[in-house]
């Protein structure tokens, strides 16, 4: 159930039976030749809404403008500073908490959000921060379908989800695999620790970072979405029933 499609009276009634809400967090940035600019926002929102259907939860509007400075040399990317993003998250938490929400579950889809999310809300009582790929069953699926070609950015998994929910862009030159990344490189860049924008575009000219986006299919996207939604719903319900949020 989407918060923005409810009336305030419906939210009031919801709060009589639940104090939980899922807040999707994405990005607005290039995702290679096959990936939509809104890929992360769409993935977070789609998984959140499907999980919320299972868990009878509310879903807040997606936080789609987030830090992605390294992709600013690609047109279409909109990046805000980590400080601004952290301030936004803090105010969302404060506002919802004041209204009676006690279990705020951030569902993230963008590596560069993790550090500022933790800075802003990691210690707040009643806040959980997860990414949709945090769950074993989701990772088993990513490995099974794509192995090392999952890569770091414009991954076939995230593109498969947006193919299932939005549209499929033909691969063109991206039918060819990208340059393969070393394990060291992948470890160093976890959480989107990429360099300055011009350097990043020079090193990864079509925007893919070790990810063979063309392996994505809408069928895999539907499977990925359903698997992630089940995992998130279970985790969200466990979080909400986890007793005193002050110690969560």
Q: How far is the CB of 40 from Ni ion (least distance, A)?
A: 4
Burial class (CB in 10 A: 0-12, 13-18, 19+), 133: buried
| Both structure tokens of 40 | 């992360």
Which among 148, 142, 69, 64 is positioned nearest to 108, based on CA atoms?
64
Residue with Cβ nearer Ni ion (40 or 206): 40
Give yes or no for a contact between 41 and 126, defined as CB atoms under 8 angstroms apart.
Answer: no
Rounded-to-integer distance, Cα 241 and Cα 230, Å: 17
Residue with Cβ nearer Ni ion (96 or 211): 211
- Restricting to residues 149-188, which ones interact with Ni ion according to CB under 5 A? 158
Residue with Cβ nearer Ni ion (21 or 214): 214
Buried-exposed string 226-237: b where 16+ CB fall within 10 A, e elsewhere: ebbbbbbbebbb
Residue with Cβ nearer Ni ion (40 or 235): 40
Residue nearest to Ni ion (CB): 40
Q: How far is the CB of 127 from Ni ion (least distance, A)?
A: 23
Q: How far is the CB of 111 from Ni ion (least distance, A)?
A: 8
> What percent of the residues of the chain are helix, what percent strand, and what percent coil, each to the nearest 5?
55, 10, 35
Please report whether residue 235 would count as binding Ni ion according to CB under 5 A.
Answer: no
Q: How far is the CB of 121 from Ni ion (least distance, A)?
A: 21
Judged by CB under 5 A, the number of residues near Ni ion is 2
The values of phi and psi at residue 114, to 5°, are -65, -50
- Restricting to residues 30-89, which ones interact with Ni ion according to CB under 5 A? 40
Rounded-to-integer distance, Cα 91 and Cα 157, Å: 32
Q: How far is the CB of 31 from Ni ion (least distance, A)?
A: 6
Rounded-to-integer distance, Cα 76 and Cα 54, Å: 34
Residue with Cβ nearer Ni ion (26 or 126): 26
Residue with Cβ nearer Ni ion (40 or 49): 40
Residue with Cβ nearer Ni ion (19 or 213): 213
Rounded-to-integer distance, Cα 87 and Cα 93, Å: 10
Rounded-to-integer distance, Cα 83 and Cα 79, Å: 12
Q: How far is the CB of 167 from Ni ion (least distance, A)?
A: 16
Q: How far is the CB of 158 from Ni ion (least distance, A)?
A: 5
- Restricting to residues 100-159, which ones interact with Ni ion according to CB under 5 A? 158
List interacting residues with Ni ion (CB under 5 A).
40, 158
């Amino acid at each position: 159930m989407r918060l923005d499609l409810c009336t305030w009276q419906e939210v009031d009634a919801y709060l009589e039976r639940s104090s939980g809400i899922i807040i999707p967090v994405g990005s607005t940035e290039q995702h290679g030749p096959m990936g939509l600019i809104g890929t992360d926002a769409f993935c977070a929102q789609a998984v959140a809404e499907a999980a919320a259907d299972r868990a009878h939860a509310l879903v807040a509007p997606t936080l789609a403008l987030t830090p992605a400075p390294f992709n600013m040399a690609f047109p279409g990317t909109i990046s805000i500073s980590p400080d601004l993003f952290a301030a936004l998250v803090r105010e969302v938490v404060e506002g919802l908490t004041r209204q009676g929400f006690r279990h705020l579950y951030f569902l993230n889809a963008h590596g560069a959000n993790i550090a500022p999310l933790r800075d802003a809300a990691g210690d707040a009582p009643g806040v959980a921060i997860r990414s949709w790929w945090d769950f074993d069953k989701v990772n088993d699926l990513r490995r099974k379908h794509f192995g090392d070609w999952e890569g770091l950015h414009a991954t076939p998994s995230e593109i498969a989800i947006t193919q299932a929910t939005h549209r499929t862009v033909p691969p063109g030159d991206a039918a060819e695999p990208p340059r393969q990344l070393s394990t060291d490189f992948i470890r160093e860049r976890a959480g989107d620790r990429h360099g300055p924008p011009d350097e990043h575009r020079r090193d990864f000219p079509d925007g893919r970072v070790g990810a063979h986006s063309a392996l994505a299919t809408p069928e895999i996207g539907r499977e990925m979405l359903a698997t992630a939604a089940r995992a998130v719903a279970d985790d969200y319900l466990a979080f909400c029933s986890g007793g005193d949020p002050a110690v969560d």
